[in-house]
Chain A
Amino acid sequence: MRIFSFHILFCLLLPLPMLLASCEGAFGWMYDDPEAPATPAPEVNADRSVTATLSVNANPWGEWHYIDLPEVIRRLRADASADVNALWVTHDIPLEATGPTEMVTGHRRTGQYLYRFDTNYGEPIKGSEFQSFTPTAAQTDPDEWSIAVHRSEVRTNGGSVWESELSDIARATEADYRHASYTPDEWSENEVWSDSRTMISQLVPSQGIAVNKVLGRWLRMTLMPDYERNGHVFFLRLRDGSFAALQLVNHIGGGTPQNPSPIRCYLTLKVRYPLP
């Protein structure tokens, strides 16, 4: 009888956790909070450079996001708790046509270049074919900026970039960055995808603009829309001759309790500047 009672009790208690669960579910503890983690405090290095962490939602197809690295460091030196992410400046990519659509390319004019990409969801891009060109206004930039990001593409303000083999920005000064071979921005007309709405037809308009193809290697689309992050430390020679070390530490972020959907191309960078 005791065994019988035990089994009855056990049988009835077995699904108790479920019964106690609210009608709207349980097991929330199995998951993480979508809120962004706290930004690490900036570090002042022995060589007087500052290592800071910057985040920006570079996901929107029609925007460039600019940051001025010297200004970031100035702010942090003045106030280590300063919200330097507020220093990002956003400019839209001009999409409005300023002239008739043409079927020629090779002229390097500012505007939208329509390409047909040989790719599908879940597969790498196998090639692209020029379709047409629509002139637009030139991209407007802020007065002061060091780099600009658009999804995985990057521009420099007259700078140039070298990719090192380092994967720890704390060891940046161990690299012979002063004597490395730097690459400036290069013209591109099928990399800065500016509108996704015709992608279902494999047609993607891209902005004609110079981008830094070395720094752009920090994030590469592999299987669409899957991205592969390159954790190397990149060295940026700014227009004024100063050097910065940059490392992309995450490319997924965002999300709120109301909308926990994570965002690709939500970039988190480590920046060390100025290097000695």
Chain B
Amino acid sequence: MMRRLTIVTALLSLCFGWISAEEAEPLEDAFEGGDITTMNSVVVTGTRTPRRLKETPVQTRVITREEILKADATNIQDLLQTELPGVEFTYAMNQQVSMNLSGFSGLGILFLVDGEPLAGETLDNIDFTRLSMNDVERVEIVQGATSALYGSSAAGGVINIITRQDTVPWTLHLDGRYAHHNQQRYNLRQSLRQGIYAHTLTFSRTSSDGYDVHNADNDVSARTFSHVFGDDTWQAGYRLQLDPTERLRLGGRLGFFRRTVDRAADMPERYYDYTGGLRAEWTLGERDRLEASYSFDQYDKSRYQSVRGLNVRQYSNVRNAARLLWNHRFRQSDMFTLGADYLYDYLMSNNIEAPARQQSFDLYGQYDWRISPRWELVGALRYDWLSERSLSRLTPKLSACYRPAERWTLRASYGMGFRAPSLKERYHDFDMAGIWIVEGNADLRPETSHSVQFSGEVTVERWVFTLSGRYARVFDRIATGIPYHKAGDTRQLYLSYLNLGDQNVYGAEASVSTRWTCGLGLKLDYAFCHEDVSGETANAYTPIRPHSLTARLDWERQLSSLWALNVGLSGRALSAVRNTEFTDLADPAQGTRSVRYPGYTLWRLQAGVRFRDGATLTATVDNLFNHRPDYYYYNAPLTTGTNFLVGLSLDIDRLCSKR
């Protein structure tokens, strides 16, 4: 599989699960039809209420714990690019990561952990290395405009990471992995449940050396690079949960993250995150449920001046969020949801004149109308108010679900989305080594989008087939324009954030999955995406590749009561893509050219042997066919060829249990 830039990782600041462990059905019990371990999973993201995946009226993609383990993913970036077609992580501005999910940049994709927002940004979204997979139960992905439930940052979709909840008295998990470039990963997870009390302690460490990559002669782009930076992450988290009564659950959490990147040996970059939160879930009666939460997240960047021994902070983004959610179930199973959020967003950076602050408040309501066993309709309306320029927006969403037969599900939805300009887009002035100055624009208008999507899902014997299509139109898209000179200054180039124009995004996805009784499982996912964009931009980001495919074939065999064997072959294939770029960024007058970025495919073969269901030794051949890009640029995989990984995982509680 692709050699990832994210050689890194770390945990996440764990939160409390929205869904109680009792509600989550064991994967083994899932779905009478065959594999299809995900269909009975409980999901919450699409409607903000717990629903089984096969019943939710909003199309939701789930990556289960089992799939996370098979992917051997270190962090969310690893996981998404392994499991999800139509997503691509690219590199710009000295190998910082940006994201494109089905035509939407990372700026329009909202990442949540147990429903709580995250602070900080690297290029166009959060620091993905924060989101370790060590303590993740599942990942829920809802694409399309979800602003009616999640607000400004969710115009392109929501990715909600749900942390693990244990039901056994205690667990102790340890794992380690080693690979080429001295890539190391270590995880520890310990949990305890006693009476009304439960806690989870997590710790993760990853590190990797930097390494050189070699480009062919006659670079097609001046943007190639010849060194991939190493990094080092540490992460720790603690979660506490109390169930003082059957109807009340209380929780608290704390987390810390640190990452060092050696982009410059004389001044390494450091990233920190401090997080904490409180949550209460109160079942008021058989029909009512109330949730309240408070979340604190502070993401800082600093540079360490090695000679003077100074660690000077240059950036700090602090988010304090409070949330209230009330669900009421009517007699006929209809569900009414009413929620409100408050967010205080603070940004300090050496690239803005003075710290920027923004408060936002929202109120939303949703009615889930179960018209009949076959028909269900969900309507939602949300009002957002942002203190910056007193911006307000009303966004609706409507979803319909029809089940013509037991194993058929058809869904359709419309959503209006909006994305308010970020504080960075409004106020950041960034001098890019004198080459140009990226200027914030306080007068930006919000992006507005409308999206529709349809999907069909059918189960035949042991097979599950899914087909979906979507269209989105984005108005007043925000991006940096083309470089220009200001009046009276013919030397310095400027790049300003502008409302550039409109964007049309068309997409389709198809997937098939099955598992046979012999232990063989197959999963194929294909995605098509096409973007039409108006307005000239010097943006470094390449458009989404039109075609992408992820595949996994795995086989598991219980050899004896003690030993089991599993083998998996997985891969992804991405088509070529063309991008229109300026011939000379320093002289836009020279015009543009079309640059073709070639497609590629990466495959991984993994074999593991498991003892007593508690100790697993895994050997992996990554990038099986030894793919090496001719040029290393924005969207090339950061692989240097075939890579070998070896890992050991220990579940001490299982090894100690009597069987």
Contacts and interface: CB of A to CB of B under 8 A. Distances in A.
Interface of A: 3-4, 7-8, 10-12, 14-15, 17-19, 21, 23-28, 30-34, 37, 61, 120-124, 195-203, 222-223, 225-229, 249-253, 255, 259-262, 264
Nearest to B221: A120
B586 A200 contact: yes
A199 B434 contact: yes
B11 to A, nearest CB: 17
B266 A251 contact: yes
Interface string B274-287: 11111000000000
A116 B62 CA distance: 50
Contact of B254 (A18, A27, A33, A199): A18
Nearest to A36: B308
Q: Which of A24, A28, A249, A264 has the most CB of B within 10 A?
A: A24
A10 B266 CA distance: 43
28 contacts: A7-B197, A8-B244, A11-B240, A12-B250, A12-B252, A14-B238, A15-B294, A18-B275, A18-B277, A18-B296, A19-B296, A24-B346, A30-B272, A31-B300, A34-B312, A37-B308, A120-B225, A122-B95, A124-B226, A195-B491, A196-B435, A199-B435, A199-B586, A200-B436, A201-B222, A226-B263, A261-B314, A262-B303
B350 interface: yes
A15 B277 contact: yes
A61 B266 contact: no
B302 interface: yes
Nearest to A261: B350
Given A28-B313, A251-B307, 8 more contacts: A7-B197, A24-B355, A32-B311, A34-B312, A122-B263, A228-B265, A229-B266, A262-B312
Contact of B433 (A8, A14, A120, A225): A225
A101 to B, nearest CB: 15
B45 interface: no
A250 B305 CA distance: 10
Interface of B: 94-95, 196-197, 222-227, 229, 238, 240-242, 244, 250-254, 263-267, 272, 274-278, 294, 296, 298, 300, 302-303, 305, 307-314, 316, 318, 320, 344, 346, 348, 350, 355, 357, 433-436, 491-493, 584-587
A201 B584 contact: yes
A12 B310 CA distance: 36
A200 to B, nearest CB: 5
Contact of A11 (B95, B252, B309): B252
Contacts of A252: 266-267, 305, 307-308
A24 B251 CA distance: 24
Contacts of B348: 24-25
Nearest to A95: B491
Contacts of B94: 121-122
A150 to B, nearest CB: 14
A139 B58 CA distance: 70
A7 B227 contact: no
A15 B224 contact: no
B574 to A, nearest CB: 24
Given A121-B94, A249-B307, A27 B434 contact: no
Contacts of B250: 8, 11-12
Contacts of B225: 120-123
A14 B316 contact: no
A262 B226 contact: no
A189 B226 CA distance: 26
Contact of B272 (A12, A27, A195, A196): A27
B227 A123 contact: yes
Given A19-B296, A203-B586, A226 B264 contact: yes
Nearest to A122: B225
A30 B294 CA distance: 24
A188 B49 CA distance: 70
Nearest to B493: A197
Q: Which of A7, A33, A222, A249 has the most CB of B within 10 A?
A: A7
Contacts of B226: 120, 122-124
Nearest to A250: B307
B202 to A, nearest CB: 15
A223 B230 CA distance: 14
Label chain A's interface by main secondary structure: loop
Contacts of A121: 94, 225
Given A8-B250, A123-B226, A259-B350, A27 B300 contact: yes
Nearest to B213: A123
B247 to A, nearest CB: 15
A102 B364 CA distance: 68
A24 B314 CA distance: 14
Contacts of A259: 350
Contacts of B278: 12, 15, 19
A251 B251 CA distance: 49
Contacts of B253: 14-15
A122 B227 CA distance: 7
B586 A23 contact: no
A219 to B, nearest CB: 10
Q: Which of A10, A120, A200, A223 has the most CB of B within 10 A?
A: A200
B308 A250 contact: yes
Contact of A197 (B254, B312, B586): B586
A149 to B, nearest CB: 17
A15 B253 CA distance: 7
Sort A-B residue pairs by CB-CB distance and give the 4 closest, nearest first: A18-B276, A196-B434, A14-B252, A15-B276
Contact of A15 (B296, B300, B586): B296
Nearest to B272: A30
A10 B308 contact: no
Given A15-B277, A197-B491, A260 B307 contact: no
Given A18-B276, A225-B433, A260 B350 contact: yes
A30 B312 CA distance: 9
Contacts of B587: 198, 201
Contact of A61 (B276, B294, B434): B434
Given A12-B250, A26-B298, A260 B196 contact: no
A25 to B, nearest CB: 4
Given A15-B252, A200-B586, A223 B227 contact: yes
A31 B348 CA distance: 14
Q: Which of B264, B265, B348, B493 has the most CB of A within 10 A?
A: B264
Contacts of B196: 4, 7
Contacts of B320: 23
A229 B307 contact: yes
B267 A262 contact: yes
Contacts of B266: 226-229, 251-252, 264
Q: Which of A25, A61, A198, A261 has the most CB of B within 10 A?
A: A25
A27 B270 CA distance: 14
B233 to A, nearest CB: 16
B346 A23 contact: yes
Contacts of A23: 318, 320, 344, 346
Contacts of B313: 28, 30-31, 260
A10 B434 contact: no
